[in-house]
């Protein structure tokens, strides 16, 4: 590839040493469908006069998209597949933004003004269904052969199976389904890979009917939500192995492989265990010619007065942690775990991935605690740390508070609000603390809730690296 984008980094070390981000892109959505969803641009340059403020805004056409896990059209993985060739120069320029409810995908151009992203292409639900057989797009990752788009549902009203569609790097057209042999896999959620080893990993949440109206207690207690990891041949789309984490461990969500291309391990978060309401994080690792997984972090529920609990968890008399996102720093040292139910972000030292050690914690929001942000100490917060994103150098951690509209309403029935926070991280000894100067919230987002964050020039959950 001639003249590669300077934000493509050959190694994790190169990424960490690059200049810090100045902007964050944050998806904002209206669960009621009365106003359009939007891509917001937040100033994250601490030396700027507009630090912590929304400095750009792009309304999207249509209603009830529920913008979710969007990604860049290209990233550092491009340096691993230069021989595939592309029309023109491949650069980190476009944001590919799925609508989880509408199945529509918007492509936004961040050039020439990164503060003014412009809609340049739309993939309609019909195209995704006709060409790939999927609906309800969830997560986008840039990788070899194209853009990989996980999806929860099937086409033409089919509830499943969910899977992965492949989009063209240059035209954004839907190429088709990525899987050539899905084996026993049916439920879908996240996707990532050990890129240089040619291995992909996917996780399981549920089909659209299982999630769109909130947690279904009958399905949960019946152990019907996802509880497995799947390992695949990345090049061929062939299913290789299922690793079941146990049917009591319901909803295996984010997968975070090590960034070091030599490493053969990663972490997956589990929302809850139906026997004791604990949440957990699991380590997957090479085991001979296959893969294995081990629970390495357990987070118990916190006792609570049933009168203070929403109906969905009142019978249990406790607040479950509800691990709904995890993120691994680019140097593979720090793992962050979002406990959306209790309102806590935990920081673990995972240099020994088999024995994580908790070294930091911040409380914001929570079902019963409602811990305020230090910038507004008199304002109780709803929601909790949910989507978490880490700067490439690991020194800044960004949070938003909404999970999925129907689930927000179940666990925070008096309203979840909207807020974004930044934490400063000690990358030497561990420890995290809120930045009192950074707290866009409430009316800043014009009546919308906020979800996924992407950082200018890349972040900890958007890039794969080719060299150690």
What tens digit of pLDDT does each residue of 141-162 get?
A: 999 889 999 999 999 889 999 9
- Number of Cβ within 10 Å of residue 455's Cβ equals 23
To which residue do tokens 């129907």 refer?
406
Averaged over 29-42, what is the pLDDT? 97
Averaged over 288-295, what is the pLDDT? 97
* Residue 85 pLDDT class (50, 70, 90 cuts): very low
Looking up residue 51, the CATH number of its domain turns out to be 2.130.10.10
Contact 250, 270 (CB under 8 A): yes
Task: Tell me what the pLDDT averaged over the chain comes to.
Answer: 96
321-346 residue pLDDT tens: 999 999 999 999 999 999 999 999 99
Enter the pTM of the model: 0.97
In a domain, 103, yes or no: yes
Tokens of 206: 């549920």
**Residues spanned by the domain of 236:** 12-455
344-380 residue pLDDT tens: 999 999 999 999 999 999 999 999 999 999 999 999 9
Q: What are phi and psi of 119, to 5 degrees?
A: -70, 125
91-140 residue pLDDT tens: 999 999 999 999 999 999 999 999 999 999 999 999 999 999 999 999 99
In a domain, 460, yes or no: no
* Residue 251 pLDDT class (50, 70, 90 cuts): very high
In a domain, 6, yes or no: no
* Residue 4 pLDDT class (50, 70, 90 cuts): confident
The pLDDT assigned to 2 comes to 55
To which residue do tokens 């389904």 refer?
177
Residue 309 and residue 83: Cα distance in Å, rounded?
A: 56
Which neighbouring-strand residues pair with 200?
193, 232
The pLDDT assigned to 410 comes to 97
In a domain, 465, yes or no: no
In a domain, 358, yes or no: yes
In a domain, 461, yes or no: no
342-353 residue pLDDT tens: 999 999 999 999
Helix-strand-coil split of the chain, %, nearest 5: 10, 40, 50
From edge to edge, which strands make up the β-sheet containing 146-154? 134-143, 146-154, 163-167, 174-177
The pLDDT assigned to 283 comes to 99
Residue 281 and residue 260: Cα distance in Å, rounded?
A: 20
H or E element at residue 325:
strand 323-328
Residue 52 and residue 42: Cα distance in Å, rounded?
A: 6
How many domains is the chain built from?
Answer: 1
The rounded Cα 391 to chain-centroid distance in angstroms is 14
């Amino acid at each position: 590839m001639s003249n590669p984008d300077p934000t493509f980094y050959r190694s994790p070390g190169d990424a960490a040493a690059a200049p810090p981000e100045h902007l964050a892109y944050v998806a904002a959505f209206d669960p009621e469908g009365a106003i359009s969803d939007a891509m917001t641009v937040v100033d994250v340059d601490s030396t700027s006069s507009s630090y912590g403020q929304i400095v750009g805004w792009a309304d999207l056409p249509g209603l009830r998209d529920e913008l979710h896990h969007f990604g860049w059209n290209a990233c550092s993985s491009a340096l691993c597949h230069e021989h595939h060739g592309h029309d023109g120069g491949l650069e980190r320029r476009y944001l590919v933004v799925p609508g989880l409810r509408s199945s529509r995908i918007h492509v936004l151009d961040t050039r020439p003004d990164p503060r003014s992203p412009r809609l340049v292409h739309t993939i309609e639900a019909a195209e995704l269904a006709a060409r790939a057989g999927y609906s309800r797009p969830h997560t986008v990752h840039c990788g070899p052969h194209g853009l990989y788009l996980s999806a929860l549902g099937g086409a033409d009203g089919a509830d499943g199976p969910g899977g992965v569609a492949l989009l063209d790097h240059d035209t954004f057209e839907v190429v088709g389904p990525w899987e050539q042999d899905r084996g026993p896999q049916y439920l879908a959620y996240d996707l990532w890979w050990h890129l240089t080893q040619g291995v992909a990993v996917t996780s399981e949440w549920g089909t659209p009917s299982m999630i769109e109206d909130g947690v279904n207690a009958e399905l949960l207690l019946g152990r019907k939500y996802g509880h497995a990891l799947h390992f695949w041949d990345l090049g061929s789309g062939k299913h290789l192995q299922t690793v079941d984490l146990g049917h009591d461990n319901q909803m295996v969500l984010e997968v975070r492989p090590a960034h070091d291309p030599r490493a053969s391990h990663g972490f997956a978060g589990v929302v809850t265990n139906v026997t004791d309401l604990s949440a957990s994080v699991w380590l997957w690792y090479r085991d001979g010619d296959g893969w294995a997984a081990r629970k390495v972090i357990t987070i118990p529920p916190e006792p609570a007065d049933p009168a203070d609990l929403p109906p969905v968890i009142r019978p249990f008399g406790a607040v479950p942690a509800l691990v709904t996102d995890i993120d691994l720093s680019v140097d593979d040292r720090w793992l962050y775990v979002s406990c959306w139910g209790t309102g806590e972000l935990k920081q673990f030292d995972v240099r020994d991935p088999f024995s994580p050690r908790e070294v930091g914690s911040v409380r914001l929001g929570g079902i019963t605690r409602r811990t305020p942000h230090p910038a507004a100490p008199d304002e109780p917060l709803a929601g909790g740390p949910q989507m978490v994103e880490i700067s490439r150098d690991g020194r800044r951690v960004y949070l938003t508070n909404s999970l999925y509209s129907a689930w927000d309403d179940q666990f925070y029935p008096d309203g979840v609000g909207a807020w974004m926070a930044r934490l400063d991280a000690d990358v030497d000894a561990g420890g995290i603390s809120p930045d009192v100067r950074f707290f866009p919230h409430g009316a800043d987002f014009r009546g919308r809730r906020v979800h996924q964050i992407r950082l200018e020039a890349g972040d900890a959950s958007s890039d794969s690296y080719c060299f150690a």
